[in-house]
Structure 1
Amino acid sequence: MPQRTNDFQKLILRIHEILLPDGAILTESKMILDEYSGSMREVDICIETTIINQKLMFMIECRDHSRKQSTEWIEQLITKSKSLKANKVIAISHKGFYKPAIKLAQKHGIETLDLIEAQNEDWDKYKIKPGIALISHESYQLQGISIYTTNSPIPLKQFDNSTPVYYQGEELGSIIEFIEYYFKEHLTMEIDKKIGEEFKKMVNNLDDVRKPIQIEVIKHLAGLSLHTAKETTLNISKVQFIVIGTREVTDIPMEHKVFDKQMISFGKHLNSTYEHDVAIIQKPNCDNLTGNIKTVRK
């Protein structure tokens, strides 16, 4: 029999992936032997763990129906849990439960949970409303280069591109050739690191992610000189590089729901190659977030 699942069940699975204790095993649509009938039965989500050398099996059943669940489903779970020898049962209904169903579940040790849309007043208890942006590419470009021959900078564009550069009397090539070589061979990794550090400093919200940043790199280059067309020798003391960094950013639309007194924020982003699945859990009156991003190649 093919395994059954749906988006609601997969969301509950994602939540428990994050909350799963160390050493526990989480399985969706696990087939377990029914000791009463001798047949295999499917459990929506199964958690297997060991506590004080005792193996335990927790059974999580999910229903994404258009109305609340009644005692009928709880009665089915009571029978199913006994025949599968589950140590604990958690029943999760998207729309919740009628009061008699909750009362019956409590009597038999079944935990009942629902997943409801977050309301504006809920954010009084949850300090952070997460927003997720997918950064697909970081890049930078040179905005300007200045040559210091004294204490004042001279923009590179004021020199003829063919102006030769010398190091201790030996010609290295034109000023443009030297700058391109030096930037590629000696500055690329340093600028990558600086750009990354600056982006991390400035990101407090999604708007910050989109802002370009400007960094300055100054290199002291003793022993270099320029020989201009006017047969003037200019000794270079340092070179200033101005770099602008930008990011390609895509927002991931997020939904927010309350589950077991915790705020669950989740969303997905699809492109031609990957699926990015985000899930974040937040406890009330807490500054910390727990979650992850799963990336799957399509």
Structure 2
Amino acid sequence: MTKKWKIFERIIAKIYEIKLSDFKPEIKHNVILKGKSGASHQIDVLVELSLPLINIREIIEVKRWQSRVKKSVVMQINEITDDVNANRATIISRKGFQKGAIQYATHHGINLYRILTPKELGVHTLYI
């Protein structure tokens, strides 16, 4: 049986694929990139696309944790972003982010998104 976190990563990759379909992005799930330092980094979702004036390489870290993401995780993603020559970084969390993580991400231009469940949105499931 596939782990729930892996399914969550695949869903996020598919959302980006649909969202950016007009730009024909290359989207990869669970890739290993070698950085400038020589170190290898596992990337949950990698988005690469070429626009007329810019090439975009975005790394996306997906966290299906039962706790909020800490600043140390955001700092690590910032370092990886630089090491793999990405020009964007995004962290997507199921439970949100601690205050220090938000402050650090804001200062360094890292996108933070929290995915809400239908229950958190006030949507109730109807079983037929």
Please state which band the TM-score falls in when normalised by the shorter chain.
Answer: 0.7 to 0.9
Is 1:66 aligned to 2:71, yes or no?
A: no
Deviation at 1:53, TM superposition (A): 4.3
Partners of 2:77 and 2:120 in 1: CA distance:
34
Partner-residue secondary structure (3-state), 1:15 = helix
1:61-92 Cα distance to aligned partner (Å, 9 max, x none):
11111111111111111111111111100001
Higher relative contact order (CA 8 A, sep 6+): 2
When the two structures are superposed, what TM-score results if normalisation uses the length of structure 2?
A: 0.83
1:185-214 Cα distance to aligned partner (Å, 9 max, x none):
xxxxxxxxxxxxxxxxxxxxxxxxxxxxxx
Aligned residue number for residue 80 of structure 1: 80
Q: 1:19-168 residue pairs with structure 2 within 5 A? A: 19-21=19-21, 22-36=23-37, 38-119=38-119, 122=122
Aligned residue number for residue 215 of structure 1: none
Q: Which runs of 5+ in 1 are unaligned?
A: 124-128, 132-250, 254-298
Instruction: State whether residues 17 and 25 of structure 2, in contact with CA within 8 Å, keep that contact through their aligned partners in structure 1.
Output: no
Instruction: State whether residues 28 and 46 of structure 2, in contact with CA within 8 Å, keep that contact through their aligned partners in structure 1.
Output: yes
Deviation at 1:121, TM superposition (A): 6.2
Partner-residue secondary structure (3-state), 2:116 = strand
Relative distance call for 1:7 and 1:87 in structure 2 (3 A) is same
Partners of 2:90 and 2:121 in 1: CA distance:
27
**Max radius of gyration: which structure?**
1
- How much is the aligned-residue C-alpha RMSD, in angstroms? 2.4
1:230-284 Cα distance to aligned partner (Å, 9 max, x none):
xxxxxxxxxxxxxxxxxxxxx9x9xxxxxxxxxxxxxxxxxxxxxxxxxxxxxxx
Which protein has the bigger helix share?
2
Partners of 1:64 and 1:119 in 2: CA distance:
16
Deviation at 1:42, TM superposition (A): 1.8
Relative distance call for 1:67 and 1:120 in structure 2 (3 A) is closer
Amino acid at match of 1:32: L
In percent, how many aligned pairs have the same letter? 21
Q: Figure out how many residues of one structure are paired with residues of the other and give that number.
A: 122
Relative distance call for 1:117 and 1:73 in structure 2 (3 A) is same
Relative distance call for 1:120 and 1:98 in structure 2 (3 A) is closer
1:160-204 Cα distance to aligned partner (Å, 9 max, x none):
xxxxxxxxxxxxxxxxxxxxxxxxxxxxxxxxxxxxxxxxxxxxx
Aligned residue number for residue 17 of structure 2: 17
Partners of 2:39 and 2:104 in 1: CA distance:
27
Aligned residue number for residue 7 of structure 2: 7
Deviation at 1:109, TM superposition (A): 0.2
Relative distance call for 1:120 and 1:112 in structure 2 (3 A) is closer
Partners of 1:120 and 1:73 in 2: CA distance:
25
